[in-house]
Amino acid sequence: MQTIICMKWGNRYNYQYVNRLYKSILRHTRNKTRLICFTDNKSKIDKEVICLPLPNIKIPNQISFTPWRKLSVWQFPLHDLKGDVLFLDLDLVITGNLDKFFNYKKGKYCVIENWTQLGKKIGNTSCFRFPVKLFKHIFDDFEKNPKYIWELYHIEQVYISDKIKDQVFWPENWCKSFKHSLLPNWPMRIWQPAKLTAGTSIVVFTGKPDPEDVLLGKWPVPKKEFYKKIYKRLIAPSWLKSNW
Burial of 97 (0-12, 13-18, 19+ CB in 10 A): middle
- Alpha-carbon distance 122 to 118, whole Å? 8
- Alpha-carbon distance 35 to 71, whole Å? 18
CATH of 2-169, one of 3.40.50.150, 3.40.50.10860, 1.10.150.120, 3.90.550.10: 3.90.550.10
Whether the Cβ atoms of residue 158 and residue 71 lie closer than 8 Å to each other: no
What pLDDT does 229 receive? 83
- Alpha-carbon distance 215 to 178, whole Å? 13
| Whether residue 28 has pLDDT greater than 90 | yes
Q: Could you tell me where in the chain the CATH 3.90.550.10 domains are found? A: 2-169
Q: For the segment 187-206, what is each residue's pLDDT rounded down to a tens digit?
A: 888 889 999 999 999 999 99
What pLDDT does 191 receive? 87
Helix (H, G, I), strand (E, B) or coil at 169: strand
Give the residue among 72, 88, 78 at the shortest CA–CA distance from 33. 88
- My answer on whether omega of the bond before 53 falls inside 30° of 0, hence cis, is no
- Which residues, in sequence order, are bridge partners of residue 124? 112
Tally the C-alpha atoms within 13 A of residue 49's C-alpha that lie toward its C-beta: 30
Mean pLDDT score of the chain, rounded to an integer?
95
Whether the Cβ atoms of residue 164 and residue 135 lie closer than 8 Å to each other: yes
Scanning 93-191, the segments in alpha helix (DSSP H) are 100-103, 137-144, 146-153, 156-163
Dihedral angle sign, alpha carbons of residues 181, 185, 190, 195: negative
What pLDDT does 221 receive? 87
Sheet architecture: strand order including 92-94? 92-94, 202-204, 175-177
| Whether residue 144 has pLDDT greater than 90 | yes
The pTM assigned to this predicted structure is 0.95
pLDDT band at 228 (very low <50, low <70, confident <90, very high): confident
| Whether residue 149 has pLDDT greater than 90 | yes
